[in-house]
Amino acid sequence: MHPRTEATLEKLRQIQWFGCVGIHDTKAAEILCSWDKAIKSCSSPEWEDLCMEAANQYREKLIEKSPERFHKWNDCMLLIKPVVQALVREKTKQIIAENNLPKVFIDSVDWDIIHLCMEAEYADVYPPGFFASQAYWYMKGHFPCGWQGQFPKGKLIVY
């Protein structure tokens, strides 16, 4: 694992996740007011498609820039995924228990943080983008969970 990826994980370990959910502390995103709305938003086909498309576009850029490095994607994913999943389980355990959150929540967080780490791992080939911007909201104590409007115009939805 690249030191840049390890540093990303360390920053995530040090913060309190979800400490500002529902708090209207920004105008840069649409803030939801409940876990029910956040879960509905993060499980919407539109949001899932947007996240999948962001991951696919990043991989396409990697193939263009460095096919050799891209061919190591799966090996890299095998190293990163269990580390991320352990961290996500640790950081979400309490919020899941307190709010009886469904599996789609942890799946969404896993996807975001795994892809954030993959962007960090390959940042020397192609700059981080969509998932690094998601990480900003995790760092601010929110849960990024949707998009309002036609991407890239519009606004991120967070809880």
Q: What are phi and psi of 128, to 5 degrees?
A: -60, 155
pLDDT of the residue at 7: 97
Tell me the mean pLDDT in the region 8-16: 96
> What tokens does 135 get?
């990480």
Residue 116: what pLDDT? 98
DSSP for residue 44: S
Question: Is the predicted pLDDT of residue 132 greater than 90, yes or no?
Answer: yes
154 pLDDT higher than 90: yes
**Mean pLDDT confidence for 125-147:** 96
Q: What is the pLDDT of residues 73-117, one digit of tens each?
A: 999 999 999 999 999 999 999 999 999 999 999 999 999 999 999
Residue 152 has pLDDT above 90, yes or no: no
Question: What does the pLDDT read at residue 50?
Answer: 96
**What is the per-residue pLDDT for 5?**
96
CA atoms of 67 and 94, how far apart (whole Å): 41
Where would I find the H helices in 66-129?
67-70, 73-99, 103-121
Residue 151: predicted pLDDT: 86
Contact 116, 51 (CB under 8 A): no
Between these two residues, 5 and 151, which has the higher pLDDT value?
5
Residues 56-75: tens digit of each pLDDT:
999 999 999 999 999 999 99
